[in-house]
Amino acid sequence: MVEGYKSVVEFVNAAYQVDAIYHTSEIAPKMMNLSRKINFQEISLTDLEKISSLKTPQDVIGLIKIPKWPRLNYNLLKNKFSLVLDGVQDPGNMGTIIRTADWFGITDIICSDDTVDVYNPKVVQATMGSLARVNVHYGDLMTIIPEIKLPLFGAMLDGENIYNTNFGREGLLAMGNEGNGLRPEIQQLINKTVTIPRIGYAESLNVAIATAILCSEIKRNSFK
């Protein structure tokens, strides 16, 4: 379920299979321009509010078919950076990480099986349409990471200063659960532990914030 005109358009443009689009009468002309092949359903605002998962519903809700992802082809991860999420739980964080990944041109995110479901409506909402462009894979990280054969960077509180780290041209960046960080067994697989140095006093950074700062550091060399 995708809510809001802009987000629905992202999925339509990315050629996802659209089962139906429910919309109010006000936005009907705009919807019709989108495509002729879609099953549009004009409904009342009252009905739309009943379906919506948002406190302030938008005027369009799309029902998008969840794609059957092919098995992750590890060769496609070479020469670039991908994210590894180990038990991220908060839907807002997950969605924001996907949106940030999309901004920085990161196309693949590999999640432990206990990471929040990427199709949770709150996750979808927080991605602001970026879910249409970022591939999110789930699986057993202990099996997958060694098979990928790329350097694994892990964000921890006692690693190398990120501002001095040479991230190179390819790799995986692992981010842990909001409360507990990376699991010990994942930590064992890390090739380089990195840390965002602290100047002030906050005990930690939000995981989506830390991911974004690291993505920026990893990508900044492409702009120099």
Q: Is 106 in the site for its own copies (CB under 8 A)?
A: yes
Decide: is 101 part of the binding site for its own copies (CB under 8 A): yes
Residue of 56, 75, 164, 166 that binds its own copies (CB under 8 A): 164
Among 107, 120, 135, 165, binds its own copies (CB under 8 A): 107
Binding part of the chain for its own copies, among 16-24, 59-67, 125-133, 146-154 by CB under 8 A, reads 125-133
Which of residues 24, 102, 181, 182 is near its own copies by CB under 8 A? Answer: 102
The pairing of strands 171-176 and 152-161 is: parallel
Question: Of 30-38, 71-79, 181-189, 198-206, which part binds its own copies (CB under 8 A)?
Answer: 198-206
The verdict on 128 binding its own copies (CB under 8 A) reads yes
- Chain-centre distance for alpha carbon 92: 10
Inter-axis angle of helices 91-103 and 207-220, nearest 10:
10
- Residue 209 binds its own copies, judged by CB under 8 A: yes
Contact of 116 with 123, CB cutoff 8 Å: yes
Q: Does 196 bind its own copies (CB under 8 A)?
A: yes
Instruction: Select from 45, 41, 43 the least CA-distant residue to 18.
Output: 41
Q: Residue 99, interface with its own copies (CB under 8 A)?
A: yes
The SS3 assignment for 58 reads coil
Q: Which residues contact 35 (CB under 8 A, 6 or more apart)?
A: 12
C-alpha distances (whole Å) from 137 to each of 8, 57, 75, 95, 124 are 22, 29, 15, 14, 15
Binding site for its own copies (CB under 8 A): 6, 92, 96, 99-107, 126, 128-130, 133, 161, 163-164, 196-206, 208-209, 212-213, 216-217, 219-220, 222-224
